[in-house]
């Protein structure tokens, strides 16, 4: 399964107040593994940069002046994300800005249903706890020491690690479950087998194995115990 971890930086907190997108960063996961493929762009917001926003991400109006407009990167961005699920921390914020930019160039919005919101997952798993990206990095031991400022691509890289931890680790499908779901969805401990299963090898198969081992010569590296 292909998923896209996505983050944005902006000039403010609401596109309804005239704030604009200034950076987009995304990276690809395939079966919960980072592939190394990514999309990143700085965007000229065609407006000033408020001091509060600058303190968060460090992107000045001077730095962004002359960078591509959103219309110039939209096709590459949309091609990269395709129709695949998106992983976003506080998805309503990022999708709100992306869809406002898409509306300006008469492109279809990205449906909210495509997004897995890691903030929502974290709030359900850790109610009452701090669930910012920095807080989740600390919780899961993800190294965020390089995050002196917010940055869309760096934050996507950190979020990918946090997301995998929220989903149960880097290989959640390989975890041996010690529990199973009860009739009403509750977690029920798996009881140990009261009687061991009988050996599945026939006497003829055991004799054939012993004969083969005898042809190898030398002593085994570890003792071989036969079934009773």
| DSSP H helix total and E strand total for the chain | 8, 7
Question: What tokens appear for 172 in the block?
Answer: 């959640």
CA nearest to 5, candidates 125, 152, 140, 126: 152
Cα(161)–Cα(143) distance, integer angstroms = 10
Name the catalytic one among 19, 57, 89, 150.
Answer: 150
Structural element, H or E, at residue 132: none
User: Is 150 among the residues known to form the active site?
Assistant: yes
Question: What tokens appear for 156 in the block?
Answer: 């996507």
Residues in contact with 171: Cβ distance below 8 Å, sequence separation at least 6, in sequence order = 32
Cα(185)–Cα(103) distance, integer angstroms = 42
The strand pairing partners of 5, in sequence order, are: 27, 87
Would you give the DSSP letter of residue 25? E
Q: What positions carry a catalytic annotation?
A: 150
């Amino acid at each position: 399964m292909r998923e896209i971890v996505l983050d944005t930086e902006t000039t403010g907190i609401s596109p309804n107040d005239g704030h604009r997108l200034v950076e987009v960063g995304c990276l690809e996961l395939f079966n919960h593994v980072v592939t190394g493929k990514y999309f990143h762009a700085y965007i000229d917001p065609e407006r000033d940069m408020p001091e509060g926003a600058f303190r968060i991400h460090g992107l000045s109006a001077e730095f962004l002046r002359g960078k591509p407009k959103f219309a110039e990167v939209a096709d590459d961005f949309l091609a990269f994300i395709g129709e695949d699920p998106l992983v976003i921390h506080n998805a309503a914020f990022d999708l709100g800005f992306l869809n406002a930019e898409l509306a300006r160039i008469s492109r279809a919005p990205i449906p909210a249903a495509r997004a897995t919101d890691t903030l929502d997952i974290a709030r359900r798993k850790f109610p009452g706890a701090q669930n910012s990206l920095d807080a989740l990095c600390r919780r899961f031991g993800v190294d965020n020491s390089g995050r002196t400022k917010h940055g869309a691509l760096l934050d996507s890289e950190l979020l990918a690690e946090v997301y995998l931890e929220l989903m149960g680790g880097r290989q959640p499908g390989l975890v041996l479950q010690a529990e199973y779901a009860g009739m009403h969805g509750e977690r029920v401990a798996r009881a140990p087998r009261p009687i061991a299963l009988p050996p599945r090898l026939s006497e003829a198969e055991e004799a054939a194995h012993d004969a083969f081992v005898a042809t190898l010569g030398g002593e085994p590296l570890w003792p071989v115990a036969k079934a009773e």
